[in-house]
A and B are shown apart, each in its own frame.
Chain A
Amino acid sequence: MTKVIFTANLMRHVDCPAVDVDGHTVREVLAKIFAENPRLKSYVVDEQFALRRHMGIIVDGEIVSDRNGLSDPVESNSEVFVLQALSGG
């Protein structure tokens, strides 16, 4: 199963422990997590399911390229990190 890990900074606002979930794309695994934890959704993606502007997702060391569709593939042994895309000082 794909392991999805959320930035610890999110925990202050909404409960979001690491989750093991099945899916073929980033969108699929996130959609399954949000179905179980609906309040988490708006903290990560916007109404169109686009990744929030200042968030980033890394799959097995690679930054996702499809920020709007989150169609980047994941494997059953992938690790997905949902992070703040920090910029500036």
Chain B
Amino acid sequence: MSDRMLISTRKGLFTASRSGSGWAVSNVDFLGDNVTLALHDPRSGYSYAALDHGHFGVKLHRNKGDGWQEIAAPAYPEKPADVISTDGWGKDLPWATALIWALETGGADEPGVIWCGTLPGGLFKSEDHGETWQLNRPLWDEPKRKRWMGGGRELPGIHSICVDPRSSRTIRVGVSCGGVWQTDDGGESWACRATGMRAEFMPPEQAGDPEIQDPHLLVQSPSNPDRLWVQHHNGIFVSSDGSKNWTEIYAQPSSFGFAVAVHPNEPDTAWFVPGIKDELRIPVDGKLVVTRTRDGGKSFESLSNGLPQSHAYDIALRHALTIDKTGNSLAFGTTTGNVYVTEDQGDHWSTVSNSLPPIYAVRFA
């Protein structure tokens, strides 16, 4: 059972720890700074923190156990003068890292590898624990990549990276807005894999276009990697054939949200933190709940024991729900600075904090 979690917030990176009396905040780093994402790599023991200083740009820090040090952030190459760079809307798309939106470890067979997804849409790989980064050119140079467009954010970006446990050369990324993209050759070639998804925000004849879909988060079942789950802008989608096809499923009280977590050993079991809908991003009836399916999305339970059920307006952003390796412990943080944890798969929740800054990401570490 996990006994530590990293909580990335608008005003610092908080660590919460589990002791005999329960969970509590035990440490804070980068206090006052905007920490957008953190990663702990169990292979090396290193931790990574992405910061967005606003005026001063995006930075990356690493802790090898002896304190945080700034390391190189993923950086785009010089844009050739004759290249016109625009997004799917025709708006200028700078070749510059605007946000680190995904950080994931490579496969078990590639110990130094870290993958990083960014706004405005570049995927970066480090083979040396973040010392140096290389832009994945095949995906960046893919003509269809230029159709990607910003969703809630001004620029398109990669927020999800799933390295297939069967082969580290098979990688899927989730793009807002640009669908799901897959490589089976370590990133040398890519194909869009979002058939079956539905985008209400487009004209009806384009709603099924795979390349303009807005998955909010993509996760892959470790025990059955052909099973993938997506919390999408317009609902929940599940794939049972390795992302070739996607089927929409419906949850109560709502299918809208940002985050999804899948059980490590039960591919049919997944959790979501719903809001009302895209233009009304608050819990239904002011009641904060987590929804859980145990049958691949045929039915859902609404879990509320220990969560506020009156005037709660929390939203869990896409990286703010996490599950540990046992599948029993989950935790999530919210835009209003609340953190909740369960150790029985969501049947009962307890409060870690009610007073943190707005939370972007929560991860067991």
Contacts and interface: CB of A to CB of B under 8 A. Distances in A.
A47 B79 CA distance: 9
Contacts, number: 42
Q: Which 3 A-B pairs have the closest CB atoms?
A: A46-B96, A43-B56, A54-B55
B76 A47 contact: yes
A52 B57 contact: yes
Interface in A34-82: 39, 42-44, 46-48, 50, 52, 54-55
A10 B54 CA distance: 12
Question: Interface range on chain B: under 10, 10 to 19, 20 to 34, or 35 or more?
Answer: 10 to 19
Nearest to B77: A47
Contacts of A54: 54-55
Interface string B65-93: 00000100101111100000000000000
Given A47-B95, A54-B55, 6 more contacts: A39-B70, A42-B57, A44-B56, A48-B79, A52-B55, A54-B54
Contacts of B57: 42-43, 46, 52
Nearest to B32: A12
Decide if the interface of chain B is mainly helix, strand, loop or mixed: loop
Contacts of B70: 39
Given A42-B73, A42-B75, A43-B53, A48 B94 contact: yes
A25 interface: no
B74 to A, nearest CB: 10
B94 A50 contact: yes
Contacts of B11: none
Contacts of A9: 55
A33 B219 CA distance: 44
Interface in B34-56: 53-56
6 contacts: A13-B56, A46-B96, A47-B76, A48-B79, A48-B94, A48-B96
A83 to B, nearest CB: 9
Contact of B55 (A39, A48, A50, A55): A55
B271 to A, nearest CB: 37
B35 to A, nearest CB: 14
Contacts of A39: 70
- Residue among A9, A10, A39, A46 with max Cβ neighbours from chain B (10 Å): A46
A9 B32 CA distance: 13
A50 B96 contact: yes
B77 to A, nearest CB: 7
A43 B73 CA distance: 11
Contacts of A48: 76, 78-79, 94-96
B277 interface: no
Among B56, B70, B73, B78, the one with the most A-chain Cβ atoms within 10 Å of its Cβ is B56
Nearest to A40: B56
A48 B93 CA distance: 12
B183 to A, nearest CB: 24
B78 to A, nearest CB: 7
Nearest to A10: B56
Interface in B147-165: none
A47 B97 contact: yes
A26 B57 CA distance: 20
Interface string B189-217: 00000000000000000000000000000
Contacts of B94: 46, 48, 50
Interface in B108-147: none
A50 B96 CA distance: 10
Contacts of B287: none
A13 B95 CA distance: 24
Contacts of A13: 53, 56, 59
A42 B72 CA distance: 10
Contacts of A44: 56
Contacts of B96: 46-48, 50
A58 to B, nearest CB: 15
A9 B79 CA distance: 30
Nearest to A42: B57
